[in-house]
Structure 1
């Protein structure tokens, strides 16, 4: 039975999440509220919300957990070629936190193969925008000729980044944003990006699954570290390409 959390109830231990043999592996709890304080507590414990309109707030902690180690980010030949082009073309920009709510709305509105609707509800946008105003959530945005054409957003505590969603309205626009984020995190010695659940797209970029206990052990130490700065531009991707990039 999945517990219902009243306003002041703490989360149960993540080990109590439903197992692989259940109909909802990783489901830990449900609640009516999505207050910023609850959201912060969740992330710091390796828990995230994922639900649709008309459902209660559903809280998850899957085992295994999909992660992307910045040191293992896979730059394919085609992506390398794209990044070199972006570096040399002034029409391309990477901006950080230019318009966080707009990035969330773009992630919500972009059609995805095999997916009907979106889990990025109005309440989700409001809650994560509150974290953004507190400096704990960020958007990395790809712009071309003055138009936002791709990007991603996520949550950051200490030396941990939790990726949430990305979108692209131009080929490779989301990958450009991710490459810039990875390079920035490498620069500040961030070892892990939480990707939550396994997808073939993330696996193609170097993502892999690890045991939840290993994820939580890393998380507990990482979130207690000092926060990193959140100002960078497209020039950071040169660090992924090596000395020939210039």
Structure 2
């Protein structure tokens, strides 16, 4: 495969191929040589842009974060549902169900206990996602559908809890324990004046975690206890 004349196209090729290999083989089992062979590029062409597969993974994750942020902005711009609470509920349910937003979940799951990854996830939630959510909460305060006294802090707490604390892989929780915490989050947001955690959102989050294999494998005794 000839190298693209435009560097950004070459970088995108590398990220696309690497993301597919990370998904198919797993990050740990994918070598930088695997990526080079799959691309059909020279080693120098790849190393010109990335020094290691870890650096490629960082770029893949960053691209995924950027997609999620752009999707959120697009949904807000194109969602006319009023009042604001209903709009936010609709947006959150769509985000959880969007296939592309979760296309790298299996890859990201391998990094979930990496402290650097966790910090990046928290920063993404607070600096990028939460301000968007807070803007809709402020709309809801204006139209009377939201009653939060501090929409910025409310949005930050919600994003950190749903992205980090709720994640069953990070804490080794089963589906029952995860569901219990989702209902706690629902009650907490209600107490904060933001009734945005719908029953549908809870079920979609549980289904999404199940689809990515986030729950620990249960033995027979655990299975009976959970049921």
TM-score (norm 2): 0.29
Question: Greater CA radius of gyration, 1 or 2?
Answer: 2
1 or 2, which has the higher strand percentage?
1
1 or 2, which has the higher helix percentage?
2
